[in-house]
């Protein structure tokens, strides 16, 4: 009975937080993760935090350190689900690039000017 209850709780947590499909390679030692929340009230920053933890685990599995490069997130609302995406690098311990973070926060609003 407890085993079924634990499985049901795990399923509810997965539904509530959404799931990423794993890191996608972007280049040498550089990856991207993204996730869309399962509910319209999902927190974009909460989703980004989950992705950063997943990225850290991924890099540690390679014996490397995770360094975030870019984080974008948007909270859910009445008409949209929360979403987050991150870009990160997996670098060897002692890599000089680990000394200073190059983290960039994605823009909240993009204004495009079109001229005819």
- Per-residue pLDDT tens digits of the chain, which is 116 residues long: 444 444 443 443 444 445 667 899 998 999 999 998 876 677 888 999 999 999 999 999 999 999 999 999 888 888 888 999 999 999 998 888 877 766 666 565 667 778 87
- CA proximity to 36, closest of 13, 20, 50, 24: 20
CA atoms within 13 A on the CB side of 7: 4
Helix, strand or coil for residue 13? helix
Give residue 92's pLDDT: 93
Taking the CA atoms of the chain, what radius of gyration do you get in angstroms? 17
């Amino acid at each position: 009975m407890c085993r079924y209850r634990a499985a049901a709780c795990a399923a509810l947590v997965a539904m509530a937080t959404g799931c990423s499909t794993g890191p996608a390679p972007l280049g040498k030692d550089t990856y991207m993760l993204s996730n869309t929340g399962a509910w319209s009230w999902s927190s974009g920053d909460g989703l980004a935090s989950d992705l950063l933890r997943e990225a850290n685990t991924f890099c540690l599995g390679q014996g490397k350190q995770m360094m975030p490069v870019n984080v974008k997130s948007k909270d859910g609302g009445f008409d949209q689900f929360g979403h987050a995406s991150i870009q990160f690098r997996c670098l060897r311990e002692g890599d000089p690039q680990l000394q200073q973070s190059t983290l960039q926060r994605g823009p909240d609003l993009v204004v495009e000017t079109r001229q005819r």
